[in-house]
Amino acid sequence: GIARFRREMMGFVFQDFNVLNTMSNKDNILMPLVLANERPKIMQKRLMEISEQLGIEDLLEKYPSEISGGQKQRIAIARALIARPKLLLADEPTGALDSKTSKNLMCLFRKINQKHQTILMVTHSNIDASYANRVIFIKDGRLYHEIYRGEESQTDYQKRIADSLAILNGVGD
């Protein structure tokens, strides 16, 4: 049914991480595979792959209360990606992070996206949006405008995003 579709097709990353403090980070990450009745050998293989990719190998045996916000976000991303979903949905993923950790997360998302992982991210940050290949602007519940990065530098793209936001918000009217 719908739960299976969500589990197999989508991964979720939230602003407030949504990790379970009573479970180790390893168990938090493995939860989608446990719910899918995946074989232990496959779970272990994927856990090692994703934890290596995200640089969290040394955090697996710890609990969420023992790690930083940026580390919790990487645990949440590992959990979202371990089942290899077709779509990663990220809702303001940098909202609770400092600027350095935010930049690292956006670089990570860019790297993940370059490996053919589709990411749909909601953000109010033109800096975060500048890491995307495509930015869609929504106003009053409707598609308002969209831009593509192409070969543009990140700085130029970020400026174009900011200019589009100014128009969207009626600055200069």
CATH code of 71's domain:
3.40.50.300
Q: Number of structural domains, the chain?
A: 2
pLDDT value of position 148: 96
Q: Same domain, yes or no, for 131 and 116?
A: no
**pLDDT at residue 18 is higher than 60:** yes
Residue with tokens 């990487």: 74
What is the tens place of the pLDDT at every residue in 96-106? Answer: 788 888 898 89
What is the tens place of the pLDDT at every residue in 61-117? Answer: 999 999 998 899 899 999 999 998 999 999 998 887 888 888 988 998 998 899 888
Greatest Cα pair distance, the chain, in angstroms, is: 61
- What kind and span of H or E run contains 143? strand 142-148
Instruction: Name the pLDDT band for 173 (thresholds 50, 70, 90).
Output: low
Last residue of a domain, one of 81, 104, 123: 123
Q: Same domain, yes or no, for 103 and 144?
A: no
Domain with 166, as residue range(s), is 125-173
Q: Same domain, yes or no, for 84 and 132?
A: no
Composition of the chain by helix, strand, coil, percent to 5:
50, 15, 35
Last residue of a domain, one of 123, 140, 165: 123
